Amino acid sequence: MEEAPSFRVSPQQEQLWVADPEGPGAKIQAVVELERTTHTFFEVDFQRLLLNDRWLIDVTNFLYMNLHFVLCTVFLAWLYLRRNEVFYFVRNVFIGTMAIAIAIHAVFPTAPPRLLTQYGFVDTIFSFGGVDQDQGAISALVNKYAAVPSVHVGFALIVAVTASMLSRRRWAKIAWAFYPLLMLYIVVATANHYWFDGLVGAACVGLAVLLAKYPLTLLRPDHWAWRLPRREPATVPAPARP
């Protein structure tokens, strides 16, 4: 008989999760079973490879707590000021992705793996950084039942694709292409998401792009359409006459 799941929550909350077949605990078990069926349940072993390197965990924790919000904010501000012709389309993709994610969170509330201690997950933000995302003022900014989809990965994909398309240098395009993979590493290493959560986040972005490209662009084609800036071909100055 399979052992009942164990969670890093209060005993009352754990009893509620285990007893509720539609609750966040049951949903996270469904994600685990899906990954086991597809032989892709690697997150625990992957995290264990990192736990002995304190400096790596500290860097990963710092990136999880800061990179997502700071980079998205700075990127959108830069886009508005310097590439305004594509800002509104990208803004609509961000809003659409968030709206789809909230809808999924409402119908499929899922606890993050950091709360599931049965398999050996470690909440690195709490255990190494001393920050409890589920208590105090910070808990008001964190929905701990919003593991599926990963908005971190979804937003990272939006930033990376947009930045790659706007970049002129090949090395910059390649660097931006790795950003969503970096974010997937961060959320998995800190036990805040499974890889499946990132996949669903990417799917939300795809759907949001379709919504922004068709119904929303048709509403305001002069403002909300995707329009890359025109790049004039370089001209070679004529040689000076003697």
- Of 71-85, 162-176, 226-240, the poorest mean pLDDT is in 226-240
- The pTM of the full predicted model, rounded to 2 decimals, is 0.84
Residue 149: asked if its preceding bond is cis (omega within 30°), the reply is yes
pLDDT band at 223 (very low <50, low <70, confident <90, very high): confident
pLDDT number for residue 136: 64
pLDDT in tens, 121-135: 999 998 888 877 766
Residues near 1 by Cβ (< 8 Å), separated by ≥ 6? none
Q: What ranges do the domains of the chain cover?
A: 11-224
pLDDT band at 241 (very low <50, low <70, confident <90, very high): low
HEC sequence for the chain: CCCCCCECCCHHHHHHHHHCCCCHHHHHHHHHHHHHHCCCCCHHHHHHHHCCCHHHHHHHHHHHHHHHHHHHHHHHHHHHHHCHHHHHHHHHHHHHHHHHHHHHHHHCCECCHHHECCCCCCCHHHHCCCCCCCCCHHHHHCCCCECCCCHHHHHHHHHHHHHHHHCCCHHHHHHHHCHHHHHHHHHHHCCCCCHHHHHHHHHHHHHHHHHHHHHHHHHCHHHHCCCCCCCCCCCCCCCCCC
| pLDDT score of 30 more than 80 | yes
pLDDT in tens, 31-89: 999 999 999 999 999 999 999 999 999 999 999 999 999 999 999 999 999 999 999 99
